[in-house]
Chains A and B, each alone.
Chain A
Amino acid sequence: MISRARLYSESMHEQIAKKSVAVFCASASGVRPEYEVAADELGRTLAQRGIGLIYGGGKTGLMGAVADGALAAGGHVVGVIPHVLVDLEVAHDGVSELHVTSTMHTRKALMAEKADAFIILPGGYGTFEEMFEVLAWQTLKIHSKPVVLLNVAGFYDTMLEFLDVCDREGMLRGIGGFC
């Protein structure tokens, strides 16, 4: 017979060993069906590989699609959402864990802390802000977690071109001229 303490210990070990990816994306669906298809596929792929999903906790748009994809494939989904959005009834009520934070800032901090890597799907201002923050923190060596842009249907092509301009103009260097 396995003791309760051992079960607890194994459960904790699983939680510690399991990798998680934070996904930043839109609460809207966008005009192209490819965006939701890609979000669903990412959620399912994470679940199939035993990788946990951390995301913004919403039930709409690409947020809902990535969470539903992961849940449909048996994945572990952690939503992190500020109470102001819970009050607007946009929180996903079927996720494995839902963390309600006091502010948008604490939401981002908790997501960044819990994740082993970041993947960015198409999105708007909120998604851009989240992506640029983790990129800035990496430049400043606050973290060294991979940041991957999933450029669905070329959504980010023009932003990448602009980043190339920023790089050529010497604006993407970190402190002391290196990054």
Chain B
Amino acid sequence: MRSRGNAAGNRGILLVAETADEALGLAGLG
């Protein structure tokens, strides 16, 4: 299962969120 906040192995370049709150947190704007 894919972990949140990281598109598996591609070194975290593409962060993955499931809610708006989570997306802003990952963007450093939470």
Q: Interface on A for B, CB 8 Å cutoff? A: 19, 21, 38, 41-42, 45-46, 49, 51, 116-119, 135, 138-139, 146-152, 156-157, 160, 163-164, 166-168, 172, 179
Contacts and interface: CB of A to CB of B under 8 A. Distances in A.
Contacts of B14: 135, 147, 149, 163
A149 B13 contact: no
5 cross-chain pairs, A with B, having the tightest CB-CB distances, nearest first: A117-B27, A45-B20, A42-B20, A167-B9, A146-B27
B1 to A, nearest CB: 11
B16 A149 contact: yes
Interface in B1-30: 2, 7-11, 13-21, 23-24, 26-29
Contact of A150 (B7, B10, B20): B20
Given A116-B29, A135-B13, 9 more contacts: A45-B20, A51-B24, A119-B27, A146-B15, A146-B28, A147-B15, A148-B15, A163-B14, A164-B7
